[in-house]
Amino acid sequence: VQLQASGGGLVQAGGSLRLSCAASGHTFSMLVMAWFRQAPGKEREFVAAISYSGGVTQYADSVKGRFTISRDNGQNTLALQMNSLKAEDTAVYSCAASLKGWGRFAEYDFWGQGTQVTVSS
């Protein structure tokens, strides 16, 4: 499975960004998908996950109500709409795919290369 994330950039606090992740090499609808992020000097942390069909989602408490994860199984794409961005959201965001697991504690088998999100305060 190949994952290609895009859409990062520089935005002011309070602004919005939409990340995308294009997947190939596997039946997309059979993958649980998620977003993770890693800030400088910090461990990677879970952001959000979405089930095979998109009907179930899970979010980290720090982004709940501000971020929305979605997927388009027809286009093999995953998205993360990020609103009301804060300086502490600054990180490299990566998309990930799991063949068997679900949610923040799943084992993710495939990872994209990451896209930088920088929020200026």
> If you compute the radius of gyration of the chain from its CA atoms, what whole number of angstroms results?
13
Q: pLDDT tens digits, residue range 51-70? A: 999 999 999 999 999 999 99
Percent residues over pLDDT 90 in the chain: 96
Cβ contact 96:108 at 8 Å: yes
How does 83-93 read in b/e, with b if 16+ C-beta sit within 10 Å? eebeeebbbbb
Residue 26 has pLDDT above 90, yes or no: no
Query: Is a pLDDT exceeding 90 seen at residue 44?
Result: yes
Q: Centre a 10 Å sphere on the Cβ of residue 25 and count the other Cβ atoms it contains.
A: 11
Q: Which pLDDT belongs to residue 86?
A: 98
CA distances from 36 to 49, 74, 109 (A): 9, 23, 13
